[in-house]
């Protein structure tokens, strides 16, 4: 299965170099002697490698996959879009770049996490507490990545240990319920193993609860999700920061950050930076790629008083989402912006959604209005369950545009086909979404070398 995993295993495992500081450097893949994992530094290197796969995952395609197939955004750049234009008209195939890239990044991260979980019990750590935290982090990332994989592809191979390479080509897709049970188990373990506050860029208890809540909501388990989100809200560890202090390198690590993927400029040969500003903010005639532009119909939904309009720039009648900081050097891929995976506004709106679905609509209004008030808007006029559901969905769309949430929200709520077919009709576009498009195809290269069956329609 999984080409990259197979190659790594056949090579014998991975070789890692120790890091000078928490997440500043990451290990490299190579040949591993059988006795490599003999001390704490060896394991810590692989822990860092696992986090590095999150960095690779969000570098480009995850944001495009969350935005371009929706009524939020489209590919503006005429060239050099990495094969992502198919996301815009639902014409992607099993050989498209985003299909294989996201799969590979997820399974590489799972491989590293499994490696740590397989060896850590036999390694002497300076602190048993730190060892326990590392187990929690690896279970968090494994559960997090399997949640991504099931959202995007449906049933996938469930790999929980380092395989014998002779078994790699026998992999088949595991039943969704089996994978869901493992995701829930991993994230619940992470909740209990992780501290309430962890080192910068590392998962903590609240990050685990947030991802677990999202997983429950995907399964329509709103009662369980509400319980997890309530713990985060009641903790008073987070708050909504002023809108002009939310994004940008100078505002990183603010009180709204529940979990983010870390990037940094001018570090390790400029290999740890982000491309977000270059890719998504600047139009291609102004030195940037302009790969993602906002639909004008979405821009028109922002009222004049909405402070979030300040995150949108207009150029030649094209609207660009401007939530990122330019690179400080000539290397345009070396921006320093972290990527919010979960921020407190996300928690509040998810909590409002759960409360509403659990027939607590008046209470849901309180948490929806917290986000609206931060944007300098008046309270919602929604009063019943149906109108509140629509109000929350709209607020999520306006709040998180450009951050990769929209397609996942449409899938989770079961509104993807209806919303997008209606949007295409309103835009006079001859596009109709077939139901099979709700899942991406498995990478064709993986299907060709394993016993996995391709998703229907591809």
Q: φ and ψ at 185, to 5 degrees?
A: -60, -45
For residue 48, the tally of other CB atoms under 10 A from its CB is: 22
Supply the mean pLDDT for the chain. 91
For 77-104, the pLDDT digits (tens) are 766 556 788 999 999 999 999 999 999 9
Strands 293-294, 339-343: pairing kind: unpaired
State the alpha helices, DSSP H only, in 154-221.
176-193, 205-218
For residue 370, the tally of other CB atoms under 10 A from its CB is: 19
pLDDT at 168: 55
> Does the pLDDT at position 12 exceed 80?
no
Average pLDDT over residues 241-268: 97
Residue 222, C-beta contacts closer than 8 angstroms, at least 6 positions apart = 216, 353, 354, 357, 358
Q: Compute the C-alpha angle 170/175/176, nearest 5°.
A: 130
Whether the CB-CB separation of 379 and 365 falls below 8 Å is answered with yes
Q: pLDDT grade, residue 287 (50/70/90)?
A: confident
Let me know if 146 is exposed, middle or buried by CB neighbors in 10 A (0-12, 13-18, 19+): buried
Token pair 């602190």 is at which residue? 127
- CA pair distance 94, 100, nearest whole angstrom: 8
pLDDT at 187: 99
Beta partners for 259? 342
- CA pair distance 37, 115, nearest whole angstrom: 10
Per the rule left: phi > 0, alpha: psi between -120 and 50, beta: everything else, 306 is: beta
pTM: 0.93
pLDDT at 77: 76
Cα Rg, the chain, nearest whole Å: 22
Beta partners for 321? 312
pLDDT at 17: 37
> Does the pLDDT at position 226 exceed 50?
yes
pLDDT at 21: 37
> Does the pLDDT at position 169 exceed 80?
no
Strands 257-261, 339-343: pairing kind: antiparallel
Average pLDDT over residues 43-68: 96
Edge to edge, what strands does the sheet with 312-315 contain? 73-74, 293-294, 318-321, 312-315
pLDDT at 124: 96
pLDDT at 351: 99
Strands 257-261, 312-315: pairing kind: unpaired
Average pLDDT over residues 323-347: 96
DSSP secondary-structure letter at 455? P
- CA pair distance 299, 64, nearest whole angstrom: 18
pLDDT at 79: 61
pLDDT at 162: 86
> Does the pLDDT at position 366 exceed 50?
yes
Mapped onto helix, strand or coil, the DSSP state of residue 260 is strand
When mean pLDDT is compared across 25-34, 160-169, 230-239, the lowest value belongs to: 25-34
pLDDT at 260: 98
> Does the pLDDT at position 15 exceed 60?
no
- CA pair distance 201, 206, nearest whole angstrom: 13
Q: Which residues of 150-170 are buried (b: 16+ CB within 10 A; e: fewer)?
A: bbbbbbbbbbeebbeeeebee
Q: Which two tokens stand for residue 361?
A: 């609509």
- CA pair distance 247, 242, nearest whole angstrom: 10
CA-based torsion, 373, 375, 379, 380: positive or negative: negative
pLDDT at 285: 83
Per the rule left: phi > 0, alpha: psi between -120 and 50, beta: everything else, 335 is: beta
> Does the pLDDT at position 35 exceed 90?
no
Average pLDDT over residues 11-37: 43
- CA pair distance 217, 211, nearest whole angstrom: 10
């Amino acid at each position: 299965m999984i080409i990259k995993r197979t190659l790594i295993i056949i090579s014998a495992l991975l070789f890692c170099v120790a890091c000078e500081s928490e997440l500043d450097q990451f290990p490299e893949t190579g040949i591993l002697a059988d006795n490599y994992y003999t001390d704490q530094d060896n394991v810590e290197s692989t822990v860092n490698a696992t986090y590095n796969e999150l960095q690779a995952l969000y570098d480009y395609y995850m944001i495009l996959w969350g935005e371009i197939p929706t009524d939020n955004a489209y590919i503006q750049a005429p060239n050099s879009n990495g094969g992502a234009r198919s996301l815009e008209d639902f014409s992607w195939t099993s050989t498209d770049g985003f299909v294989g890239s996201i799969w590979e990044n997820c399974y590489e991260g799972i491989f590293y996490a499994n490696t740590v979980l397989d060896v850590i019990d036999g390694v002497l750590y300076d602190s048993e507490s730190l060892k326990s935290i590392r187990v929690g982090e690896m279970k968090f990332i494994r559960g997090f990545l399997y949640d991504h994989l099931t959202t995007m592809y449906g049933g996938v191979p469930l790999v929980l240990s380092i395989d014998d390479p002779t078994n790699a080509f026998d992999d088949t897709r595991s039943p969704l319920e089996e994978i869901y049970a493992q995701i829930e188990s991993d994230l619940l373990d992470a909740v209990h193993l992780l501290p309430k506050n962890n080192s910068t860029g590392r998962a903590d208890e609240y990050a685990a609860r947030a991802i677990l809540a999202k997983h429950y909501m995907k399964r329509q388990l709103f009662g369980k999700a509400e319980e997890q989100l309530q713990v985060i809200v009641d903790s008073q560890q987070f708050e909504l920061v002023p809108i002009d202090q939310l994004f940008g390198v100078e505002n990183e690590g603010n009180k709204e950050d529940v979990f983010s993927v870390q990037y940094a400029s001018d570090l390790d040969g400029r290999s740890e930076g982000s491309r977000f500003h270059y890719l998504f903010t600047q139009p291609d005639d102004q030195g940037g790629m302009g790969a993602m532009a906002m639909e004008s119909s979405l821009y028109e939904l922002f009222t004049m008083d909405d402070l979030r309009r300040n995150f949108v720039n207009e150029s030649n009648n094209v609207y660009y989402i401007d939530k990122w900081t330019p690179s400080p050097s000539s290397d345009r891929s070396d921006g320093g912006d972290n990527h919010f995976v979960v921020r407190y506004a996300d928690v509040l709106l998810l909590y409002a959604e759960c409360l509403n679905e659990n027939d607590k609509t008046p209470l849901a209004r309180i948490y929806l209005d917290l986000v609206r008030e931060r944007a300098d808007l008046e309270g919602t006029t929604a009063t019943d369950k149906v109108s509140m559901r629509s109000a929350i969905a709209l607020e999520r769309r306006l709040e998180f545009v450009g951050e990769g949430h929209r397609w996942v929200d449409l899938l989770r709520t079961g509104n993807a086909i209806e919303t997008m077919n209606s949007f295409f009709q309103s835009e006079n576009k001859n596009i109709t979404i077939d139901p099979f498009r709700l899942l991406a195809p498995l990478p064709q290269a993986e299907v060709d070398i394993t016993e996995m069956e391709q998703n229907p329609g591809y």
